[in-house]
């Protein structure tokens, strides 16, 4: 074979690798128990068809890191599995009238075939599918653990409702424009009884522990998580309500402005609003009902939009300001949300823009309590929100804002009318889904309405077959119609009971899957804590930035829960995080609807795995988007062919002579690469590494072709070719394996440990520094090119000829231009 033929290489090596199972981690541990361990993971794929270019990119980067650590003498766990539950399978199944299992497992098989060609160094013995009962059994176990601790609970509340999928959504699944992340439908609000996981109990830890990830996770992701958790400090303040026993509590980040409160606002959909208005006049009740209906259609984002007119209705009730006894009218307005803080605010129009907009629109008073140079908000329409000194505020008058906050909190606490507190934007995680293809919630509903957890030894609660079930979305779970399945009895008593018909959000599945890889077939426990101590947390996690909030936050939460339950001894799952950019075509995200899809399967077929991976690695910094119009897969293939040809020439020529007499310039380049490659990989500068490999190929070629040289026989050429092969294994495993074999090795290249660079070959050539005395050259010195000015000055002045020239004369000045010149001026 005189031409580089990627197909021949793939066909040759695939069966060999399938047989060798080189990346089977159990074997690696048995053979080298002493080696340090690394756990390198890519976010597992969702089986919605074949793999796409986003997968190709992420798995390319993850595999570089996994292969790299093996070459550094570590044992690497690099597993793969499938995030196999979820709506797309169910939708496809409904459309085609097949079982979601068929669609899911067919797609998994397809993705596996593609992976086998693409050849990431996976340990296939650890393969898992979240839709297998042996996996989801442990989701149920986890749920029950959390239920026992009060971390899983049911409540009645207003939830996000996707009218297309006919199921609820977590807040994290609603985009900032108020549409569903999955269907694009405008999300509605609906009141339902649902299961929640109490992530808010972990809000402080989830926020504070982000500091430990600084420098290890992309700062953009850290910031997104911080904003999502959204901690605010302030006070809870109780306002007595005329004609009501219970006070209304509000949360405020500006309790210092309490003397400026002129009215109160409650969220229209809150129980509080309904109760308050029930005592009002029939007209007010009607106005309120009308208003309530209108607000049901607005999304949370719309409701909070600054430019939206602030609408609302007066509830004909009054609250009393606890510090000055003022009588404040109570309104319902939809700019106040039911599930933030307490669903009620004290309105301070002078210092809060939304309150001001509302006050000006409804003729409510504006009272300034923080001094400023700005115009009166009542006339300018602009609230004064900055710092300042308090005015017209009783005992707070004259205090600076921050002092006033502390002072008013002390006063409220002393009076028993409030206290300092904090609140979060983060809400509890709603996990119930009214769909079939997910983990059944392991709870039984007894006839008296009580909840009975399914005993652990009866797990898994398996999904019933789909035969006879209508999976179409209709607002209640299709499982409710599986009569034989739903009707059961309470263990022990035998009383009749119904199974909970909802299934879990699939983000539960992916929140802990990394631990299941430690032994995916363990039927005694979710994972073995001893193995977790050996392998986890993940050293490097690779995946798309679209998971910056949902998946990563949920995994962090569940990891902390497992930590607190004593199952793991760490509390952050992912030590380092790499977010790859997106693959674009002509600057726009590839999508089927745009018809400009670069298909992974086609690229793989036309150019092969190695050229595709080299292209992805070389395209630019990992976090940047890749525009497919700017890359050249053909160029990558040419580079690989040139490297491969060098190995062939070395084989054919045979190596002769000693390294000492070989081409030193080539050796320098090779050893510099050996020295630099680890730093480049660890800093995820994969593109720079590929560029350096290209340079080495070029220099090796020149060395072979140089007239009068030793050609491919030169031992420096062999050394370069071997180094190239070992490093190419990171991105081009087929080419690398073939080169290694041509160079006469029969051990698997993927398991070779990279040699260390020879320090002697890293020293730069010296440069000549000229030393003048009064402008005349008196000496020449050989110095390092990066010598400092001070060192060069000292060396020059100590030189015997220079010393002799200076003699007893006075040194007036020494001019140093390192590394090449020193001029000594004497008198
Ligand atoms: C009085 C006040 C005066 C406020 C002032 C602000 C400025 P963050 O920072 O986002 O936490 N608020 C409280 N609960 C609310 C709800 N359910 N819906 C809408 N707004 C609500 O915002 C906290 C502030 O948002 C709180 O502080 C409250 O208004 C309002 F000069 O109280 B403030």
Ligand 1 atom with the shortest distance to the CA of 348: 3
Give the pTM. 0.86
Return d(Cα 631, Cα 613) in angstroms, integer: 12
407's torsion region: left (phi>0), alpha (psi -120 to 50) or beta? alpha
Which residue out of 250, 341, 388 has the highest number of ligand 1 atoms within 8 Å of its CB and is therefore the one to mutate? 341
For residue 798, which phi and psi values (nearest 5 degrees)?
A: -90, -10
Return d(Cα 715, Cα 105) in angstroms, integer: 52
- Ligand 1 centroid to 191 CA: how many Å? 24
- Whether 262 is in the pocket of ligand 1, judged by its Cβ within 6 Å, is no
- Ligand 1 centroid to 345 CA: how many Å? 6
Q: Measuring from atom 19 of ligand 1, which residue has the nearest CA?
A: 336
- Whether 251 is in the pocket of ligand 1, judged by its Cβ within 6 Å, is yes
- For residue 574, the SS3 value is strand
Return d(Cα 83, Cα 107) in angstroms, integer: 12
Return d(Cα 691, Cα 182) in angstroms, integer: 39
Return d(Cα 318, Cα 328) in angstroms, integer: 5
- Ligand 1 centroid to 193 CA: how many Å? 28
Return d(Cα 699, Cα 704) in angstroms, integer: 9
Return d(Cα 736, Cα 424) in angstroms, integer: 52
Which residues share a beta bridge with 42?
542
- Whether 352 is in the pocket of ligand 1, judged by its Cβ within 6 Å, is yes
Rg (CA), the chain: 35
**CB under 8 A, 24+ apart: contacts of 229-232:** 229/203, 229/424, 229/425, 229/426, 229/553, 230/424, 230/425, 230/426, 231/203, 231/204, 231/207, 231/422, 231/423, 231/424, 231/425, 232/422, 232/423, 232/424, 232/425
Please tell me what DSSP assigns to residue 180.
Answer: B
- Whether 270 is in the pocket of ligand 1, judged by its Cβ within 6 Å, is no
Comparing C-alpha atoms, which of 750, 735, 747 is closest to residue 12? 735
**CB under 8 A, 24+ apart: contacts of 520-524:** 520/81, 520/126, 520/127, 520/128, 520/134, 520/135, 521/134, 523/134
Which residue out of 331, 340, 418 has the highest number of ligand 1 atoms within 8 Å of its CB and is therefore the one to mutate? 340
- The pLDDT assigned to 595 comes to 45
- The pLDDT assigned to 84 comes to 97
39 CB-near residues (< 8 Å, 6+ apart): 76, 77, 78, 514, 535, 536, 537, 538, 539
- Whether 254 is in the pocket of ligand 1, judged by its Cβ within 6 Å, is yes
Task: Please answer whether residues 150 and 561 qualify as being in contact, where contact means their C-beta atoms are separated by less than 8 angstroms.
Answer: no
Please tell me what DSSP assigns to residue 119.
Answer: -
- Whether 388 is in the pocket of ligand 1, judged by its Cβ within 6 Å, is no
Comparing C-alpha atoms, which of 434, 440, 463 is closest to residue 100? 463
Return d(Cα 747, Cα 721) in angstroms, integer: 16
Task: Please answer whether residues 195 and 380 qualify as being in contact, where contact means their C-beta atoms are separated by less than 8 angstroms.
Answer: no
- Whether 421 is in the pocket of ligand 1, judged by its Cβ within 6 Å, is no
- For residue 644, the SS3 value is helix
DSSP string, 668-736: HHHHHHHHHHHHHHHTT-HHHHHHHHHHHHHHHHHHHH-TTS-GGG-HHHHHHHHHHHHHHTTT-HHHH
Q: Measuring from atom 29 of ligand 1, which residue has the nearest CA?
A: 252
- Ligand 1 centroid to 77 CA: how many Å? 48
- Ligand 1 centroid to 254 CA: how many Å? 8
Return d(Cα 236, Cα 413) in angstroms, integer: 10
Token code pair at residue 652: 């054919």
- Whether 59 is in the pocket of ligand 1, judged by its Cβ within 6 Å, is no
- Ligand 1 centroid to 333 CA: how many Å? 14
- Whether 507 is in the pocket of ligand 1, judged by its Cβ within 6 Å, is no
- Ligand 1 centroid to 341 CA: how many Å? 8
Give the chain's residues under pLDDT 70.
1, 586-597
- The pLDDT assigned to 597 comes to 66
DSSP string, 209-251: THHHHBTTB-HHHHHHHHHHH-EEEEEEEEEEETT-SSPEEEE
- Whether 253 is in the pocket of ligand 1, judged by its Cβ within 6 Å, is yes
- Whether 351 is in the pocket of ligand 1, judged by its Cβ within 6 Å, is yes
Q: Measuring from atom 26 of ligand 1, which residue has the nearest CA?
A: 252
- Whether 372 is in the pocket of ligand 1, judged by its Cβ within 6 Å, is no
Q: Cα-Cα-Cα-Cα dihedral of 403, 408, 409, 414, to 10°?
A: 130
Pairing of β 626-627 and β 583-585: parallel
Q: Cα-Cα-Cα-Cα dihedral of 399, 401, 402, 403, to 10°?
A: 10
Ligand 1 atom with the shortest distance to the CA of 234: 27
ipTM of the predicted structure? 0.94
Return d(Cα 75, Cα 36) in angstroms, integer: 6
Ligand 1 atom with the shortest distance to the CA of 370: 31
Ligand 1 atom with the shortest distance to the CA of 232: 11
- Which residues contribute to the annotated binding site for ATP? 592
- The pLDDT assigned to 782 comes to 86
Please tell me what DSSP assigns to residue 97.
Answer: T
Ligand 1 atom with the shortest distance to the CA of 255: 1
Taken in order 166, 171, 177, 178, the sign of the CA dihedral is positive
- Whether 336 is in the pocket of ligand 1, judged by its Cβ within 6 Å, is yes
- Ligand 1 centroid to 267 CA: how many Å? 12
Distance in Å from the first CA to the final CA of the chain: 76
On the question of a cis peptide bond just before residue 819, with omega within 30 degrees of 0, the verdict is: yes
Ligand 1 atom with the shortest distance to the CA of 383: 31
Return d(Cα 206, Cα 210) in angstroms, integer: 7
Which residue out of 158, 251, 343 has the highest number of ligand 1 atoms within 8 Å of its CB and is therefore the one to mutate? 251
Maximum Cα interatomic distance, the chain, rounded to a whole number of Å? 112
- For residue 510, the SS3 value is helix
- The pLDDT assigned to 191 comes to 83
- Ligand 1 centroid to 559 CA: how many Å? 32
Pairing of β 75-77 and β 37-42: parallel
Q: Measuring from atom 9 of ligand 1, which residue has the nearest CA?
A: 232
Q: Is 472 exposed, middle or buried (0-12, 13-18, 19+ CB in 10 A)?
A: exposed
- Whether 266 is in the pocket of ligand 1, judged by its Cβ within 6 Å, is no
Token code pair at residue 105: 């497992």
- Whether 426 is in the pocket of ligand 1, judged by its Cβ within 6 Å, is no
- Whether 256 is in the pocket of ligand 1, judged by its Cβ within 6 Å, is no
Return d(Cα 219, Cα 234) in angstroms, integer: 27
- Which residues contribute to the annotated binding site? 592
Return d(Cα 244, Cα 261) in angstroms, integer: 20
Tokens 């902390």 locate to 560
For residue 766, which phi and psi values (nearest 5 degrees)?
A: -85, 160
Tokens 């009975």 locate to 452
755 CB-near residues (< 8 Å, 6+ apart): 674
Tokens 């830890």 locate to 205
Which residue out of 227, 231, 252, 295 has the highest number of ligand 1 atoms within 8 Å of its CB and is therefore the one to mutate? 252
Token code pair at residue 389: 């000194």
Ligand 1 atom with the shortest distance to the CA of 385: 31
- The secondary element (H helix, E strand) that includes residue 274 is helix 271-277
């Amino acid at each position: 074979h005189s031409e580089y033929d990627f197909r021949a290489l793939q066909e040759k090596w695939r069966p060999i690798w399938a047989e060798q199972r080189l990346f089977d981690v159990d074997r690696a541990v048995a053979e080298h128990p002493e080696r340090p361990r690394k756990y390198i993971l890519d976010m597992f794929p969702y089986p919605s068809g074949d793999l796409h270019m986003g997968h190709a990119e992420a798995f390319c980067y993850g595999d570089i890191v996994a292969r790299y650590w093996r070459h550094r003498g570590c044992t690497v766990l690099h597993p793969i599995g499938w995030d196999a539950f979820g709506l797309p399978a169910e939708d496809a199944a409904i459309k085609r009238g097949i079982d979601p299992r068929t669609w899911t497992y067919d797609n998994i098989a397809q993705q596996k075939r593609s992976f086998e060609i693409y050849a990431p160094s996976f340990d296939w013995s650890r393969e898992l599918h979240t839709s297998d009962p042996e996996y989801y059994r442990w989701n149920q176990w986890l749920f029950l653990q959390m239920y026992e601790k009060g971390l899983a609970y049911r409540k009645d509340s207003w939830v996000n409702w996707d009218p297309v999928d006919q199921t609820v959504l977590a807040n994290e699944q609603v985009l900032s424009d108020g549409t569903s992340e999955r269907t694009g439908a405008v999300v509605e609000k609906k009141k339902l009884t649902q299961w929640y996981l109490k992530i808010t109990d972990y809000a402080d830890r989830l926020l504070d522990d982000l500091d430990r990830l600084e420098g290890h996770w992309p700062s953009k992701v850290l910031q997104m998580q911080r904003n999502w958790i959204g901690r605010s400090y302030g006070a809870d303040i109780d306002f007595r309500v005329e004609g009501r026993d219970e006070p209304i509590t509000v949360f405020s980040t500006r309790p210092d402005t309490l003397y400026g409160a002129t009215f109160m606002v409650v969220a229209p959909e809150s129980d509080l609003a309904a109760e308050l208005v029930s005592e009002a006049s029939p007209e007010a009740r009607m106005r309120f009902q009308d208003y309530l209906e209108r607000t049901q259609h607005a999304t949370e984002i719309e409701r909070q939009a600054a430019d939206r007119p602030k609408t609302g209705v007066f509830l004909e009730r009054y609250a009393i300001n606890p510090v000055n006894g003022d009588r404040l009218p109570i309104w319902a307005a939809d700019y106040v949300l039911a599930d933030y803080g307490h669903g009620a605010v004290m309105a301070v129009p002078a210092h809060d823009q939304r309150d001001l907009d509302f006050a000006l629109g409804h003729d409510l008073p504006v009272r300034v309590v923080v001094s400023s140079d700005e115009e009166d908000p009542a006339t300018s329409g602009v609230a004064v929100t900055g710092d300042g000194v308090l005015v017209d505020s009783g005992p707070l008058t004259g205090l600076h804002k921050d002092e006033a906050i502390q002072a008013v909190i002390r006063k409220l606490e002393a009076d028993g009318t409030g206290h300092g507190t904090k609140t979060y934007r983060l809400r509890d995680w709603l996990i119930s889904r009214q769909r079939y293809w997910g983990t059944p919630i392991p709870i039984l509903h007894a006839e008296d309405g009580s909840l009975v957890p399914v005993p652990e030894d009866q797990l898994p609660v398996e999904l019933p077959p789909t035969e006879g079930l209508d999976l179409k979305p209709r607002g209640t779970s299709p499982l409710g119609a599986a009569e034989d399945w739903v009707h059961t009895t309470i263990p022990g008593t035998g009383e009749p009971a119904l199974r909970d018909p909802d299934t879990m959000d699939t983000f539960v599945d992916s929140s802990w899957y990394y631990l299941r890889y430690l032994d995916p077939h363990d039927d005694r426990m979710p994972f073995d804590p001893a193995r977790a101590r050996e392998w986890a947390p993940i050293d490097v996690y690779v995946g798309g930035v679209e998971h910056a909030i949902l998946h990563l936050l949920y995994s962090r939460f569940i990891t902390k829960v497992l930590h607190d339950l004593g199952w793991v001894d760490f509390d952050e799952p992912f030590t380092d995080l790499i977010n790859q950019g997106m693959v674009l075509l002509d600057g726009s995200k590839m999508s089927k609807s745009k018809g400009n899809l670069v298909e992974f399967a086609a690229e793989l077929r036309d150019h092969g795995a190695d050229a595709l991976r080299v292209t992805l690695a070389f395209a630019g910094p990992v976090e940047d988007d890749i525009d497919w119009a700017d890359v050249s897969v053909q160029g990558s293939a040419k580079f690989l062919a040139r490297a491969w040809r060098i190995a062939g020439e070395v084989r054919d020529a045979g190596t002769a002579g000693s390294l000492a007499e070989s081409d030193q310039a080539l050796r320098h380049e090779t050893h510099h690469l050996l020295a630099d490659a680890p730093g480049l990989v660890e800093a995820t500068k994969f593109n720079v590494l590929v560029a350096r490999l290209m340079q080495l190929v070029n220099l090796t070629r020149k060395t072979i072709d140089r007239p009068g040289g030793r050609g491919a026989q030169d031992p420096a050429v062999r050394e370069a070719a071997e180094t190239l092969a070992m490093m190419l294994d990171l991105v081009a495993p087929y080419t690398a394996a073939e080169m290694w074999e041509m160079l006469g090795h029969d051990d698997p290249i993927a398991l070779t440990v990279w040699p260390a660079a020879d320090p002697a070959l890293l020293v730069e050539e010296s440069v000549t520094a000229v030393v003048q005395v009064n402008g005349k050259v008196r000496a020449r010195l050989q110095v390092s090119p990066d010598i400092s000015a001070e060192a060069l000055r000292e060396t020059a002045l100590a030189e015997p000829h220079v010393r002799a020239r200076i003699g007893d004369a006075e040194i007036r000045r020494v001019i140093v231009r390192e590394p090449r010149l020193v001029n000594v001026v004497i008198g």
